[in-house]
Structure 1
Amino acid sequence: MTTRIALIGFGKIARDQHQPALAAHEGFDLVATVDPQLTADATSTPASFTDFDALLASDVEVDAVALCVPPQHRFAVACQAIEAGLHVLLEKPPGITLSEVADLEQRAATAGTVLYASWHSRHAPAIEAAREWLLPQTVTAVEIDWCEDVKVFHPGQAWIWEPGGLGVFDPGINALSIATHILLRPFALREATLDVPGNCATPIAARLAFVDTNGAPVDAIMDWRHEGPPRWQIRVVTDAGELRLEEGGGRLSIDGDVRIDEDKDEYGGVYDRFASLIQEQRSEVDLRPFTHVADAFMLGRRRTVEDFHE
């Protein structure tokens, strides 16, 4: 059975990733888009609305929504959708606080709808193979290097610098979503340094020092001031060799031997998972990546750096 779905928020991520993934997916039918600033692209869907209330009041039949609005606005829209009996997919991060996402999970359980807090990077081509290889190994150290140019990948997105926008953790949480999935042992933050521009509320760079339950260090560098090609890579040292994930999970090598090197189709995997959850009538809300970010804001020493100007 095809699920009729609406995209709420039709900005860059919705146009670049969600719309193509839905167009290629047999399990979904994109029936509407909602965005206060409609673009010409939005008219390519059967129905377009400037606000969610208008969609709910229309005769367009919808079973589910994918929320691609900035995280500061996600909770209110998700509450409306759940109250209307719709299944809800949350783009990452799932919200701006842990408590509001826990609230959404309870609301969905009470309403009998599906809530899916998606982590698209977990669906990169090499992730499951990396997880399988690591399962029997003893990890001795992990290094995360997640650096990109904010002016290239997040142009004109002022909300990322506001409270709840996460700053560099908006992409950095992708690395944490991968690490929490492929590493067998949990890890916890011990210290962090956050570089915050003087004219912003969120960090432009972060250094994080985690330790897993066996004492192995898990160190992360995230920086939006990086110039040139992005570095989205994770290095895992084990008793059986060294695993490297590069290209955000598109490439996997073991001791220098490349095992997987494929173009990423992460959002196809996201919607495969959402379709399965709807069929099984169960929610999936893994808050571990978001919890690590919250811990960084709690424990991190903030350093004021030069103002950011796009």
Structure 2
Amino acid sequence: MPPYRIAVIGIGKIARDEHLPSIARDPRFTLAGVVSGSGASVPGVPTFREAAALYAAVPDLDAVAICTPPGPRTALVREALAAGVHVLMEKPPTPTVGELRDLAAVAERAKRVVFTTWHSQYNAAVEAMRARLAGQKLGRLAITWKEDVRRWHPGQDWIWQSAGFGVFDPGINALSILTRIMPEPVFVDSATLLTPANRAMPIAATIAFTSPALAPGGTLTAEFDWRQTGEQTWEIAADLAGGTALRLTGGGTTLSVDGTVVEDAPRHEYDRIYARFADLLAAGTSLVDMAPFELVADAFMVGRREAVEPFLD
């Protein structure tokens, strides 16, 4: 079977760091074009300013990877599906849960594949932790996700605007792991959203959850912060009711059990994402996972906002 002809829409940091290299490494895909409103290009590949021009110029295109900020994605996905093209979506997939639910229905009617990519789920240690939590009760699970926004999102004002998600842009990675590993559903109980006085979206947040998987008196919490400099922290620590302590670190790359490392694999998230996309395309099956997105939406719904000092990039 010839490789799938794919184009990338939005040539920013995530596209250059992850999507383009993973596409180049996977023989089941060939890069047929890129779309960039700023005119950013990839050597040897046709560049278009608008998606409509791509679809007109490459009529045999199979799929697009949409790597823009979330704001314009709903319209871009609808346009792609109308053009008969399958869609891979960066996270967070859309500005609202309702839009994502609608796009799933549109894709089903169009008989096209839509794939929501929660990249942190695609680490081997995440699956190892999921297996160890299966059927268990938890005494405690604590997410600590702290990083430096200036390092990972320099000058990206869109992330502070409405529908930009603020600290939940990285935080949703942790929540995507949480919804993958938990043996029972998770629900937001309360949240505090620390929001700079000059921004619309939070720079830090704490959340308390409930879940049938918690033992009596058990706790499930998350702490997100974009103000951490130096060493970055991406950790999920869980204590089983029976006493076993599990620690997932490195954003999901390393799992320790009672202090002993049992899984430590290089981070190949996006290679696994494209391998999964190829399988979905072959099967003609969509994968739209709304669970991490719903937790963020619920945190905003029940969260109490507290103003903090202005953020200046």
TM range (shorter): over 0.9
Please, which runs of 5 or more residues in structure 2 have no aligned partner? none
Aligned equivalents of 2:179, 2:200: Cα separation in 1? 27
| RMSD, aligned CA | 1.1
Aligned equivalents of 1:227, 1:196: Cα separation in 2? 18
Please, which runs of 5 or more residues in structure 1 have no aligned partner? none
Aligned equivalents of 2:183, 2:195: Cα separation in 1? 32
Aligned equivalents of 2:209, 2:203: Cα separation in 1? 20
Give the letter aligned to residue 61 of structure 1. D
| Matching of residue 65 in structure 1 with residue 64 in structure 2 | yes
Alignment CA distance shift 1:173-1:78 (3 Å) = same
Partner in structure 2 of residue 23 of structure 1: 24
Give the letter aligned to residue 7 of structure 2. A
Aligned equivalents of 1:226, 1:205: Cα separation in 2? 10
Aligned equivalents of 1:22, 1:31: Cα separation in 2? 11
User: Mean alpha-carbon deviation: is it higher for 73-82 or for 235-244?
Assistant: 235-244
> Could you report, residue by residue, the CA deviation over 1:189-208 in whole angstroms, capped at 9, with x for unpaired residues?
11100000111110000000
Alignment CA distance shift 1:79-1:45 (3 Å) = farther
Aligned equivalents of 1:140, 1:62: Cα separation in 2? 50
Give the letter aligned to residue 235 of structure 1. A
Partner in structure 2 of residue 209 of structure 1: 208
Deviation at 1:60, TM superposition (A): 5.6
| Matching of residue 235 in structure 1 with residue 237 in structure 2 | yes
| Matching of residue 290 in structure 1 with residue 293 in structure 2 | yes
Aligned equivalents of 1:218, 1:21: Cα separation in 2? 34
> Could you report, residue by residue, the CA deviation over 1:46-83 in whole angstroms, capped at 9, with x for unpaired residues?
21111111111214631000000110010000000001
Aligned equivalents of 2:60, 2:154: Cα separation in 1? 34
| Matching of residue 48 in structure 1 with residue 40 in structure 2 | no
Give the letter aligned to residue 231 of structure 1. T
Deviation at 1:279, TM superposition (A): 0.8
Paired residues, number: 308
Secondary structure in 1 matching 2:279: helix
Alignment CA distance shift 1:47-1:211 (3 Å) = same
Alignment CA distance shift 1:112-1:200 (3 Å) = same
> Could you report, residue by residue, the CA deviation over 1:201-228 in whole angstroms, capped at 9, with x for unpaired residues?
1000000000112443210000000111
Deviation at 1:45, TM superposition (A): 4.3
Partner in structure 1 of residue 120 of structure 2: 121
4+ long deviations beyond 3 Å: none
Give the letter aligned to residue 50 of structure 1. R
Q: TM-score, normalised by structure 1?
A: 0.97
Give the letter aligned to residue 77 of structure 2. A
Give the letter aligned to residue 236 of structure 1. A
Q: TM-score, normalised by structure 2?
A: 0.96
Partner in structure 2 of residue 264 of structure 1: 267
Partner in structure 2 of residue 5 of structure 1: 6
Partner in structure 2 of residue 112 of structure 1: 111
Give the letter aligned to residue 234 of structure 1. I
Aligned equivalents of 2:166, 2:13: Cα separation in 1? 17
| Matching of residue 90 in structure 1 with residue 89 in structure 2 | yes
Aligned equivalents of 2:198, 2:135: Cα separation in 1? 47
Secondary structure in 2 matching 1:185: coil
Secondary structure in 1 matching 2:71: helix
| Matching of residue 252 in structure 1 with residue 251 in structure 2 | no
Give the letter aligned to residue 258 of structure 2. D
| Matching of residue 195 in structure 1 with residue 198 in structure 2 | no
Aligned equivalents of 1:178, 1:196: Cα separation in 2? 25
Give the letter aligned to residue 258 of structure 1. V
Give the letter aligned to residue 282 of structure 1. T
The share of aligned pairs that are identical, in percent, is 45
Give the letter aligned to residue 271 of structure 1. Y
Aligned equivalents of 1:43, 1:188: Cα separation in 2? 43
Matches within 5 A, 1:67-82: 67-82=66-81
Aligned equivalents of 1:253, 1:278: Cα separation in 2? 35
- Retained in 2: the 8 A contact 1:31–1:60? no
- Retained in 1: the 8 A contact 2:120–2:173? yes
- Retained in 1: the 8 A contact 2:183–2:213? no
Aligned equivalents of 1:197, 1:116: Cα separation in 2? 33
- Retained in 1: the 8 A contact 2:254–2:261? yes
> Could you report, residue by residue, the CA deviation over 1:221-260 in whole angstroms, capped at 9, with x for unpaired residues?
0000011111000001102501110000111100000112
Partner in structure 1 of residue 33 of structure 2: 32
Deviation at 1:125, TM superposition (A): 2.7
- Retained in 2: the 8 A contact 1:32–1:45? no
- Retained in 1: the 8 A contact 2:112–2:284? yes
Partner in structure 2 of residue 309 of structure 1: 312
Partner in structure 2 of residue 300 of structure 1: 303
